[in-house]
Amino acid sequence: MENMLPQHRQELGWSQQRLADELGVSRQTIISIEKGRYDPSLPVAFRLAAVFQCSIEDLFTPQ
């Protein structure tokens, strides 16, 4: 799944560790999501959307 996570994260000026702390997951999880190697669970996708104040569709695009 393609995603806009790095762009949204950089807009906020957050590091991967900061985003991981906000979501309560490991930094490796953020790295893998951003690289498109890991599709997050629905709860994590909702938390990401809440953090970036957008919809899940704005963050993820099915390939």
Partner 1 sequence: MGDKVIARSRWGQARFGGGTAALLSTSLAIGVLISAGLGGLFVLLTDVERPLLAFAVVVVCTLPVAAALGWAVLVERSTLTGAIDKPEDSIESAWYQKATSGAFGDILLAGGLGAAVFSFTGLEAPIGWILAAVLLFAMLDFAARYLWLKKSAA
Instruction: Report, in Å, the least distance between residue 39 CB and partner 1.
Output: 9
Whether residue 23 contacts residue 44, with contact meaning beta carbons closer than 8 Å, is answered with: yes
Lay out the site mask for partner 1 across 16-45 (x = CB under 8 A, - = otherwise): ----x--xxxx-xx-xx----xx-xx-xx-
**Could you tell me how many residues of this chain bind partner 1 (CB under 8 A)?**
15
Distance of alpha carbon 53 from alpha carbon 56, whole angstroms = 10
Size of the chain, expressed as the number of residues it contains: 63
Decide: is 56 part of the binding site for partner 1 (CB under 8 A).
no
3-class secondary structure, 33: helix
Decide: is 14 part of the binding site for partner 1 (CB under 8 A).
no
